Amino acid sequence: MTAANGRSPSKTYDAVIVGAGFSGLYALHRLRDDLGLKVRVLEMGEEVGGTWYWNRYPGARCDSESYTYTYSFSPELDREWSWSERYPEHPEIRRYLNFVADKLDLKRDIEFGARVTGATFDDAANRWTITTETGETFTAQFFITAVGCLSTTNVPKFKGLDSFRGRWYHTGAWPHEGVDFTGKRVGQIGTGSTGIQAAPVIAEQSKHLTVFQRTPNYSVPARNGPMSEEFKQHLRDNYTAIHDKKRTTTNGHPFDISSTSVLDVSPEDRERILEAAWTEGSLKFRAAFSDTLTNMKANQVISDWLRNKIHQVVKDPEIAERLTPRDHGYATKRPPIDTDYFETYNRDNVTLVDIRKEPIVEITPNGIRTEAREYPLDIIVFATGFDALTGPLFALGIESRDGKALRDVWAAGPQTYLGLQVPDFPNLFTITGPGSPSVLANMPVAIEQHVDWITDCIRHMRDSGKQRIETTEAEAETWGNEVDRAANATLLPMASSSWYLGANVPGKPRRFMPYAGGMAHYAKLCEGIARDGYRGFQFS
């Protein structure tokens, strides 16, 4: 059937969710299976997976340990699934999400290949109309974004990219069939978490790898390896306790941050503790001392220790120095973990170019030309990150109740209440939106907390006969001040090139976007707000 405007008539739902990654799948399960809502998920990919559907670059694996990077709501899922390695590689995470989606029979309510390009709110009817790229429309009382924080790729606008005769790829939109690097000269731009994972693998597979580095980065060994049968049994016996622990910590990982200052221990103890943390590897290195991210002097000590490690690993002292971060402290940007990253620069087939010293001038038909010379290349890999947190929301073309684009509303930076709602966008919930812990937490923990809170809120509305929920400018401003306060209580805003601040995307307003007050603290706050009759939200 076709409507008068030539389009198919809108399909009507209680809730439309955008995205079928960790967030969208869980939101579908809770809203459909626990609340009995009629729900549709719109997913631009052709499968479930979200981040892991797109990020298939060489070396892509999760930096959270596999057993912590899972849903926690179902003991049955825990019993039936087991991870093969300490850090899961991207295909294994997709298998996990497919396993969950099949187990809960979620796919029948997901529309794949559906890219949302517009969303408008009918103020009188209290309903959203959501439009996809193909012109299909969906209406729903609740519109829920589950688009992830790092799903809009940032491809820098280098002059001449169109003229390049080789192939180029962004790591966040990697070809599903893979890329054959055999015999190729590869240029990689970017040394964030992604670049640090990719470079060692590309170096092994290619004829030559040239890494174009703008800001050197710290990295701690991941120490990946197969998961032993004993550890798998330990997990089966202790999953409940592990999940409970994750919910009590600052970052949603199942370990506490030490209560000891690095400034209060003897040089021998400091060395012993840092060396043990280095040997254990993982993001836990951040937690070796209490004040890594709160005290400049402490951060300096730990950063110096890590700088020294780079010089120990990299044989050529000049290259080691080029790789050594001097402009920011450890973990003030998202700290990467790696498998043989610094070791890669000891290989004969790897070149490191410092593009602060010799900036990229243009991309030529043959490769990349810096101020110093041209580097001939067959393939360019952009490991240049994402338009984080706000980019994925802007891409949806969401308009406020009075028709303003979210992009314009947030021209000076995002402003939300709890990262869950935006004033003038009633009945819109943003899972892991800016202003919530999101990327500062182990993502599944942040996701489940938001989805559970939204589910309870909608249940409350249904029980009390309310049609509409919204927040106010005043609440968003107060919360925005709290987001600023929490960030400024840490050293996080000090890394001037950090994507947490939007600094990686030219023209993006600088505002520290995630809530740095800690995952457990934030969850308690949200619980209290709900208990107080959803303080700061208005129902009608």
- Where on the chain is the footprint of ligand N01 (CB under 6 A)? 62-63, 150, 156, 189-195, 197, 214-215, 334, 355, 383-386, 439, 497, 499, 504
Smallest separation, CB 153 to ligand N01 (Å): 9
Six-digit token string for 324: 């050594």
- CA separation for the pair 314, 321 (Å, rounded): 9
> Nearer to ligand N01 by C-beta: 386 or 515?
386
**Least distance between ligand N01 and beta carbon 236 (Å):** 24
Q: How many CB atoms lie within 10 A of CB 162?
A: 8
In the complex, minimum distance from the CB of residue 20 to ligand N01, in angstroms, rounded to a whole number:
17
Decide if 17 contacts 146 (C-beta within 8 A).
yes
Q: How far is the CB of 218 from ligand N01 (least distance, A)?
A: 12
**DSSP string across 197-217:** HHHHHHHHHSSEEEEEESS--
**Shorter beta-carbon distance to ligand N01: residue 193 or 427:** 193
123 φψ region: left (φ > 0), alpha (ψ -120 to 50), beta (else):
alpha
For ligand N01, which is the closer residue by CB, 108 or 157?
157
Residue 184: count of CB within 10 angstroms of its CB: 18
For residues 296 and 329, the answer to whether their CB atoms sit within 8 Å is: yes
Closest separation in Å from C-beta 196 to ligand N01 = 7
| Nearer CB in complex with ligand N01: 215/290 | 215
The token pair at 366 is 């043959």
Contacts (Cβ under 8 Å, ≥6 apart) of 372: 358
CA–CA separation, 324 vs 507, rounded Å? 27
**Smallest distance from the beta carbon of 415 to ligand N01, in angstroms?**
23
The CB-of-126 to ligand N01 minimum distance in angstroms stands at: 36
Q: Which residues pair with 362 in a beta bridge?
A: 369
Residue with tokens 């170019």: 353
- 233/143 Cα distance (integer angstroms): 41
Give the helix ranges, DSSP H, for 366-495.
Answer: 391-394, 406-409, 443-463, 473-488
Nearer to ligand N01, 341 or 410 (CB): 341
Looking at the DSSP assignment, which residues form a beta bridge with residue 138? 11, 130
Minimum CB–partner distance for residue 207 and ligand N01 (Å): 23
Q: What is the DSSP letter of 405?
A: B
Pick the closer one to ligand N01 by CB: 214 or 401. 214
Nearer to ligand N01, 331 or 476 (CB): 331
Q: How far is the CB of 214 from ligand N01 (least distance, A)?
A: 4
Sign of the CA dihedral running 320, 322, 327, 333: negative
Based on CB atoms, which residue is closest to ligand N01, 386 or 522? 386
Position with the least CB separation from ligand N01:
192
Chain Cα centroid distance, residue 40: 24
Alpha helices in 331-373 (DSSP H): 341-344
Residue whose CB is less far from ligand N01, 206 or 504: 504
Whose Cβ is closer to ligand N01: residue 49's or residue 190's?
190
How far is the first Cα of the chain from the last one, in angstroms, to the nearest whole number?
35
3-state secondary structure at position 121: strand
Q: Which is nearer to ligand N01, 156 or 397 (CB)?
A: 156
Total residue length of the chain: 540
Burial environment of residue 129 by CB neighbours within 10 A (0 to 12, 13 to 18, 19 or more): middle
Cβ at position 197, least distance to ligand N01 in Å: 6
Q: Residue 93 CB, nearest distance to ligand N01 (Å)? A: 9
